[in-house]
Amino acid sequence: MKRRIEVILETDRFLYFRGGASRPAVWCERCESDLRMVPPEAAALVCRQNTRAIYRGVEAGRVHFTETSEGSLLVCLDSVRAARGE
């Protein structure tokens, strides 16, 4: 008599951004709303793209962005998703 063993795995994926909870919403002039804007590296993780694709979208004007007073780039996740066709 043969025995059959069935294994079922369930996984969840959580992304945590350090300092994200304390970062206030930023006004996106092109979306005309307050949004959570994130660094390009975080947008690449969330949208499953490489960072270079995010920068190409910024350079082409498809991805909305702003720069902080410290000179850091923040991108609008909604525009990244729209540029990707999600």
Each domain of the chain, given as residue ranges in start order, spans: 26-84
- Residues 29-77 have pLDDT tens digits of 788 777 778 899 988 988 889 999 999 999 999 999 988 888 889 999 8
Residue (of 71, 72, 21, 77) closest to 45 by Cα position: 77
Q: Which residue has the higher pLDDT, 13 or 48?
A: 48
Q: Which residue has the higher pLDDT, 17 or 85?
A: 85
The answer to whether residues 60 and 48 touch, using CB atoms and an 8 Å cutoff, is no
Task: Dump the DSSP string for 22-84.
Answer: TSPPEEETTTTEEE-EE-HHHHHHHTT--HHHHHHHHHHT-S-EEE-TTS-EEEEHHHHHHHH
Residue (of 74, 56, 78) closest to 20 by Cα position: 74
